[in-house]
Amino acid sequence: MKKFKGFALTAMLTGVLAVATACGSDTSKDESTSGTTGDTAAKLSGEVIIDGSSTVYPIMEAVSEEYGAVQPDVRVSVGFSGTGGGFKKFIAGETDLSNASRPVKDEEKAELDKNGIEFTELPLAFDGITVVVNPDNDFVDHLTVEELKALWVDSGKAKMWSDIRPEWPKEEIKFYSPGTDSGTYDYFNEVILEDAPIVSNATLSEDDNILVQGVSGDKNAIGFFGYAYYAENQDKLKDVSIDNGNGPVEPTHETIGNGDYAPLSRTVFTYVSNKAVADKEQVADYTKFTIENAGKMAEEVGYISLPEEDYKKDLEKLAELTK
Amino acid sequence: MNKLVDKEIVAKKMPSRIIRNQVFKGLFFLSTLFGLLVLGVLFYRIITQGIGYLDLDFFQNFASRRPENAGIKAAIIGTIWLMVVVAPVSLILGVGTAIYLEEYAKKNKFTSFIKLNISNLAGVPSIVFGLLGLTIFVRALALERSVLAAGLTMSLLVLPVIIVASQEAIRSVSKELREASFAMGATKWQTVLKVVLPASIPGILTGGILALSRAIGETAPLIVIGIPMFVAFLPKTIMDTFTVLPMQIYNWTSRPQAEFQDVAAAGILVMLVLLILMNSIAVFIRNHFQKRY
């Protein structure tokens, strides 16, 4: 009986190991086949470590996927810990590139300085923070920046639509906002809230799909998030045009790309460590590849590409570093 | 005549007692049904959403920006690698601690203080273990974002559960068995090895596998220690970086495109099958070895 127990355990362990090794041998096969296709450029190896914003993640995932076809031996890993979380790792010198859906903050800059980490900011794409309401909401079609502020800044009591414009119904507004750790919230805070506290009964969620569901299920709801989430859910949501003093502008691919959709059109970035570019050939090569392909990849995953000359500027900045 | 049982009163109370019995029966049935119903709805939704993406390619592809190309190759292999570290580390440390606490440690206030703390640790949110792992394994021991660092962090997370389950199992071994062993002149270690452990192995392994099921389902501590979401390579040693299934699922559910929700559902299906498999092993072990003692 004891023997059987020992046997059963050994069998289980061998099973697990067999699966693990079988998969291990898979790798070598993969690399040998794909390695032959990528002989156009010098073959590079080593690691590229990227972390940061979950908003920028889809772009970097797409870029890294393509890069794998060119340089299969470079091991690229992309993390998801948020703009702020990514910068913490960048400050600790643990990552080569740090994605951000807002510019680096002064406090973060100071810490980077303190640790002697020099970096270069590379704009990657545009995103338009889109303000949305329920499709059954037939009275709101545009809001001025002041009205947005009046809506979202906490006043200590429940807000009615009639508080914003007297002709609107006397019904309580439900608010849906991205979580306070997100770069989207940071950006909205900077241009609309201006550090005033957000309405206290707002539903905050790190998952933008929850916000989509919230707004699409409640007639008196209002929310905001990245343009891609609106574009994918146009049948369930109604976008609100924003008036920044020059008449209402609807968030579209065009108005976000040319900056007319102000002030909620924002740039998303990646920050690269100058030292990593200078010391590691694969980081320099990957960064160049990112800039060259960011526009196309951004469009594919729902963002808006920058004008060509912006990518040229990025490339010039990078060329300075590798000189 | 003084009756011991007053039939009249019994007869009068009988209907209400029967009704009460029925009410509670119905109540407990409903509470069982509630859980099953939710599970049923979950299964139905996930299967209808995910089945279309569940093909061989799904297991052979890395993550991709195109839902139809997205796969879980790196994630599922990463999950297996994680288990290869977590299973031995947490079982050896957990069972070792349980044996010490139950068999060797003096029964004093200090020991019960430690036991109380271990039970408490089992309820600490997983993200706290992530911060601990980041400080100790990733930074202080410079293991970086490796399978080893993640495996040790996850081991810490499930250790309390394994210790408590093992303690229970060891405690339930009857005193007579131990005393018989001592009476034959066996030392404490011989008793533990030949009598106590074989008798408690079903309980220990059941607890252990349930704890491991928790470890493969956790995302938060891995995100905190910086385990990446996208990797297009497989780890070759425990010092390589990797990704796991629940992180991949989490990423897909947060995407705007509806197709990615379906890919996520396919991932959840794989995850559920994996969990059912592990839990069945736990049940099998319990049933198989329990009969012997």
Report pLDDT for A207. Answer: 85
Is the Cβ–Cβ distance between B78 and B243 less than 8 Å? Answer: yes
- The size of the A-B interface in CB pairs under 8 A is 113
Tokens for B128, please give them: 């706290």
A50 touches chain B (CB under 8 A): yes
Would you state the pLDDT for residue B40? 93
Among all residues of chain A, which has the CA nearest to that of B237? A24
Asked if A117 reaches chain B (Cβ–Cβ under 8 Å), the answer is no
Contact A77, A60 (CB under 8 A): no
Of residues B80, B231, B261, nearest to A19 (C-beta): B80
B10–chain A nearest CA distance, Å:
55
Q: Nearest CA of chain B to the CA of A300: how many Å?
A: 8
Q: At residue A1, does pLDDT exceed 50?
A: no
Tens of pLDDT along chain B (293 residues)?
A: 566 788 888 888 899 999 999 999 999 999 999 999 999 999 899 999 998 888 888 999 998 989 889 999 999 999 999 999 999 999 999 999 999 999 999 889 999 999 999 999 988 999 999 999 999 999 999 998 999 999 999 999 999 999 999 999 999 999 999 999 999 999 999 999 999 998 998 889 889 988 999 899 888 899 889 899 999 889 999 999 999 999 999 999 989 888 999 999 999 999 999 988 888 888 888 788 775 54
Spatial separation of the C-alpha atoms in residues A291 and A311, rounded to whole Å: 6
Distance of alpha carbon B207 from alpha carbon B212, whole angstroms: 9
Tell which of A3, A25, A51, A65 to mutate to test the B interface (max B CBs under 10 Å): A65
Q: A27 and B84 in contact by Cβ < 8 A?
A: no
Q: Is B233 on the interface with A (CB under 8 A)?
A: yes
Q: Could you give the CA distance from residue B283 to residue B183 in angstroms, rounded to a whole number?
A: 34
CB A44 within 8 A of CB A71: yes
CA distance A207 to chain B (A): 6
Q: Hey, are the CB atoms on A57 and B257 less than 8 Å from each other? A: no
Six token digits for residue B213: 């099921």
Q: Are A225 and A212 in contact (CB under 8 A)?
A: yes
Q: Which of B84, B228, B254 sits opposite A78 (nearest CB)?
A: B228
Q: Does A135 touch chain B (CB under 8 A)?
A: no
Residues in B touching A24 (Cβ below 8 Å) = 234, 236
- Does the CB of B197 have a partner CB in chain A at under 8 Å? no
Going from the C-alpha of A74 to that of each of A31, A36, A44, B267, the distances in angstroms are: 11, 14, 6, 27
| Contact between chains at B198 and A2 (C-beta distance less than 8 A) | yes
Selecting from B145, B223, B258 the residue whose C-beta is nearest the C-beta of A80 gives B223
Chain B residue closest to A9 (CA)? B285
The angle subtended at Cα B104 by Cα B103 and Cα B106, nearest 5°, is 110
Closest listed residue to residue B242, CA positions, set B101, B60, B52, B83? B83
